[in-house]
Amino acid sequence: MDDLIPIGRFSRMSRLSIKALRFYDEQGLLAPAWVDPGSGYRYYLRAQAARAEAIRVLRTVDMPVGEIRDLLADDDPELIGRRLSAHRERLRARLAEQERMLRFLERLIDRGGNVMPYEVVVKEVPDVAVASLTRRTSLATIAATIQQGFGAVVGAIGTAGAHPAGPPFLVYHDVIDEATEGDVEICIPVPAATVLPDGPVGVRTVPGGPVASAVHRGPYQEIAPAYHVVTGWIEENGRKPSGPPREIYLNDPQSVAPDELLTEVQFPVEGVR
C-alpha cells in the first residue's frame, strides 16, 4: 500500500488530468492499481507512469484511443512501427485535405465570396461512340472504382489497336451518396468502327442532343456546386432532364495542377418545343 500513489498526485506526475485518467480506465488503457472499495478513490503505481506517458504522447499526435490500446498491447517492434507508420499516413492525408480546403478558401476569397461562379449554357452535342464499363459503387469506393475502370477501358482500347477519340467522361446512372450505392459508367470516346475483345468493356453510342452545361475549374472533390448550379438552372428555366448527367474531363490530371483541372458537367435536357 505504501507504493500506491493517489490519483491526484499521479495526475500531476503523468500530466494527465484526473478526468483523462478516469476515461482511460473506462477504455481499458490505464487501469488503477487499486480502487478503495469504500470511497472509490483510485490509486496507481509509479511503474505505471511510463504507460501513462506513452498514452499522453500518442494522444498529442491524435492517435485514436482504440489504436493506442492495440499498439500498447503489441510486443513486436516491427508491428508497432507499422501501426505508427499507418497513423503517420493518415495524418498526411488529413493535412493534404486541409491544404486543399485552404486553397479552395483562397480561391473563394479571390472571387469575392462567390461560392458558385458558374455560367450555364445550353448546347447541342453529337452522338458519340464510346468504349465503356459500368460499375456499381459506393461513395467510399468511387475514386478507386473510377481509377480501376479507366484502367480497364484504356487496356481494352489498346488491345484492340484503337485510340481515344475525345476526352474521357463518366455517366452517373444513379445518385451515389453516403447512404446509397449506384451505377457509374466509365467512358472513353473511340472511332465508331472500333471492335473490342470479348470482356466487360463494350462499345456503345451515347446519344447526343441538347445539354445544360457548366465547366468547373479546380479539384474534382470540389465539383458539387457545379451540379447544384446546373440542376437549379434546369428547374428555374422550366426544362426537364432527359438522361443521366455526364462528367467530362477536359484536361489531364497528370499534366496540370489540381487547381487548373477543367471538368464539364452536362445534363441532357428535353428540347424546346
What's the confidence (pLDDT) of residue 31?
A: 95
Query: Is residue 202's pLDDT more than 50?
Result: yes
> CB within 8 A of 32, min separation 6: which ones?
7, 21, 25, 42, 43, 44
Query: Is residue 267's pLDDT more than 80?
Result: yes
Phi, psi of 121 (to 5 degrees): -125, 150
Nearest to residue 111, comparing CAs of 259, 250, 247?
259
Q: What is the fold, at CATH topology level, of the domain defined by 4-73? A: Multidrug-efflux Transporter Regulator; Chain: A; Domain 2 (1.10.1660)
> CB within 8 A of 236, min separation 6: which ones?
none
- CB-neighbour burial class of residue 201 (10 A; exposed 0-12, middle 13-18, buried 19+): buried
> CB within 8 A of 22, min separation 6: which ones?
42
What's the pLDDT tens digit per position in 150-175?
A: 999 999 999 999 999 999 999 999 99
3-state secondary structure (DSSP) of residue 227: helix
3-state secondary structure (DSSP) of residue 36: coil
Is there a contact between 42 and 25 (Cβ–Cβ < 8 Å)?
yes
What's the pLDDT tens digit per position in 80-120?
A: 999 999 999 999 999 988 887 888 788 778 766 666 678 99
Q: Give the bridge partners for 186, in sequence order.
A: 133, 170
Give CA angle at 237 (224, 232), nearest 5°: 15
Q: Which amino acid is at 240?
A: K
Residue 258's CB: how many other CB atoms inside 10 A? 13
What average pLDDT does range 261-269 have in this prediction? 97
Nearest to residue 205, comparing CAs of 153, 131, 129, 126?
129
- Residue 135 CA to residue 167 CA, distance in Å, equals 20
What rounded mean pLDDT belongs to the chain?
92
| Domain 121-268 top-level CATH class | alpha beta
What's the confidence (pLDDT) of residue 216?
A: 93
Is there a contact between 132 and 156 (Cβ–Cβ < 8 Å)?
no
Residue 259's CB: how many other CB atoms inside 10 A? 14
| Domain boundaries defined on the chain | 4-73, 121-268
Give CA angle at 98 (94, 103), nearest 5°: 145
Query: Is residue 7's pLDDT more than 60?
Result: yes
> Which of the four pLDDT bands, split at 50, 70 and 90, describes residue 134?
very high
What average pLDDT does range 4-30 have in this prediction? 94
And the C-alpha cell for 237? Answer: 428555366
What's the confidence (pLDDT) of residue 111?
A: 64
What's the pLDDT tens digit per position in 205-238?
A: 999 999 999 999 988 988 988 998 999 999 999 9
What's the confidence (pLDDT) of residue 105?
A: 81
3-state secondary structure (DSSP) of residue 261: coil
And the C-alpha cell for 1? Answer: 500500500
The upper half-sphere exposure of residue 235, i.e. CA atoms within 13 Å in the direction of its Cβ, equals: 6
What's the confidence (pLDDT) of residue 28?
A: 93
What's the pLDDT tens digit per position in 135-153?
A: 999 988 999 999 999 999 9
What's the pLDDT tens digit per position in 118-131?
A: 899 999 999 999 99
- Residue 244 CA to residue 209 CA, distance in Å, equals 13
Edge-first strand order for the sheet with 34-35 is: 4-6, 42-45, 34-35
What's the confidence (pLDDT) of residue 54?
A: 94
Q: Which amino acid is at 207?
A: P
